[in-house]
Amino acid sequence: MGSLPEPGPDCNRTKPLGIRFLEHIKKGSLPFRSHQAIVLVVTFLAYTSYHAARKTTSVVKSALDPKSPDVGLKLVPWKASYFFNPPASTTLSSALGNGWAPFNGSDGTTLLGQLDVAFLLVYAIGMYFSGHLGDRMNLRIFLAVGMIGTGLFTSLFGAGYWANIHSFYFFLIMQVLAGLFQSTGWPSVVAVVGNWFGKSKRGLIMGIWNAHTSLGNILGSLIASALLTYGWGWSFVVPGLLIAFIGLVVFLFLPVSPESVGAERDTDEFYSPRKNGESVKEPLLRAESDDEEKAVGFMEAWRIPGVAPFAFCLLFAKLVAYTFLYWLPFYISHTAIDGKYLSSGAAGNLSTLFDIGGIVGGILAGHISDHLNARAITAASFMYCAIPALFFFRSYGHLSLTINMALMFITGMFVNGPYALITTAVSADLGTHSSLKGNSRALATVTAIIDGTGSVGAAIGPLLTGYISAKSWSAVFTMLMSAALVAGLFLTKLVVAEVTAKLEHSRHKERLHQDLP
């Protein structure tokens, strides 16, 4: 991904300033493995900060819209005067009991849902354009600009607190622009990591690297929750400054490829990692002869076996996962646990258990699918197990804090497990499919279809939740359980094929055993 300079005497000019500084201290070139370590650490920090900034909104929702604690359990409309005539006081206070207009009005929950869908739709659309632009720009600069832009507009959203801004359109524009700059993240980091790590490096290294999503969500929740008592604006400004700072680190230290720093590239075929449902521009299967490849058409890519089932499965899987990403802290703070309601900060901290469960689920799903050599069976099984997990979390999570924590962890494990597995399974299956013949441009098209379709679900889930939760959270969980069921059903044909193949393999082994003297 991107035009890379050929090794030569001028390659030092393409080296990041930070790499030059390290080489000056070392008084010699950095070894290849040192560059790989820098790439892993810097890209990991980069995407962790992306998700930390993205998670902030879900934690602050309950501070912007602190309705009656019975909201979502029964319909208790607020006085319309709070929406049409917000309090005129300009005094800044860390007391968040009255919320923040216009989100503390009768339709505040719906407005918050609209912010989510605006962010996610722009993010999904921007992903395709980001991949296209990344092909034609220096990925280090492209990623750094995206991170600094994300930090700027995330911070400006929080600045509305001190500026006493109550215009919905201000916050909407800030979210849209933040979503646009956020879309630069995944296409950039996946291309850089793919440039440095070949097919033989994708196992444990990529599994650990992919933990940045859940870790970013956890850090974002903890940071935003801790700062709420000082005013909700800080919950946006600090993560915004953090991602901007790491963007500067990216600009100073990230080597885009071995060629850009004069390092010798391995001869293995290169594969980019697959992240939880987000778009990838170029898998980098080969380092050369791309000009000989013929791109696969959009409709032709849809007809490749396995693309449509996994694409629609991911749509409904991300609908569930992103609903939790954006609404879980809000739900916790508005649901009595053992007869008590948690503060916004406590709810944000508690919600991190869902992401911790997601880390465990992703590792467990990957291990099981590797052991069984059955990706579709594993993904479908996790989606089906998510249905009772969601039911029990909704029905019994209020009984005690311990039960709530345990059920939240289990729910995160089953919801996020296939979220991490699906794209990996598709890339592995299609990478060896006979109709592709290793065509990297075909895989780029297929991945865009699958991840783009999944991003639609990521936008729909939070939007519907904003409307439905105003009447009943039970209806929201019914929607989530239905989505998990549909996600599993879309893999039925692939599951049957895997089961049939395993039965035939077993019978073949039995016949061979019987033929032995």
Q: How far apart are CA 376 and CA 494, in angstroms?
A: 6
Q: What is the pLDDT of residue 373?
A: 78
Q: What is the pLDDT of residue 93?
A: 36
The answer to whether the bond into 102 is cis (omega within 30° of 0) is yes
Instruction: Please work out, in degrees rounded to the nearest 5, the angle formed at the alpha carbon of residue 355 by the alpha carbons of 350 and 360.
Output: 125
Plot region of 339 (φ>0 → left; ψ -120 to 50 → alpha; else → beta) = left
Residue pLDDT tens, the chain, 517 long:
444 444 445 556 678 889 888 888 888 888 888 888 999 999 999 999 999 998 888 888 878 877 634 333 333 333 333 333 444 433 333 334 578 888 888 788 788 888 888 898 898 888 767 766 766 688 899 999 999 999 999 999 999 999 999 999 999 999 999 999 998 887 778 778 777 776 444 444 665 677 888 889 889 988 998 898 899 999 999 999 999 999 999 999 999 888 888 777 655 444 444 444 444 444 333 433 444 445 556 677 777 778 889 889 989 999 999 899 888 988 998 888 988 888 877 888 898 899 899 888 888 887 788 788 788 899 999 999 999 999 999 999 999 999 999 999 999 999 988 887 775 545 445 544 555 555 444 444 565 667 778 888 888 888 888 889 888 899 999 999 999 999 999 999 989 998 998 888 888 777 777 766 5
Total residue length of the chain: 517
Q: How far apart are CA 494 and CA 300, in angstroms?
A: 19
Q: How far apart are CA 332 and CA 469, in angstroms?
A: 13
Q: What is the pLDDT of residue 213?
A: 82
Q: What is the pLDDT of residue 516?
A: 63
Contact call for residues 354 and 417 (beta carbons, < 8 A): no
Q: How far apart are CA 180 and CA 154, in angstroms?
A: 12
CA–chain centroid gap for 26, Å, is 37
The token pair that represents 12 in the structure block: 């030092």
DSSP for 316-363, written as a single string: HHHHHHHHHHHHHHHHHHTS-BTTB---HHHHHHHTHHHHHHHHHHHH
Strands (E), 202-360: none
Partners of 340 in the beta sheet? 337
Residue 259, CB half-sphere, CA atoms under 13 Å: how many? 13
Q: What is the pLDDT of residue 131?
A: 63
Closest CA to 320 of 416, 388, 407: 416
Q: What is the pLDDT of residue 444?
A: 45
Q: How far apart are CA 368 and CA 25, in angstroms?
A: 46
3-state secondary structure 441-489: HHHHHHHHHHHHHHHHHHHHHHHHHHHHCCCCHHHHHHHHHHHHHHHHH
Q: What is the pLDDT of residue 446?
A: 63
Plot region of 438 (φ>0 → left; ψ -120 to 50 → alpha; else → beta) = left
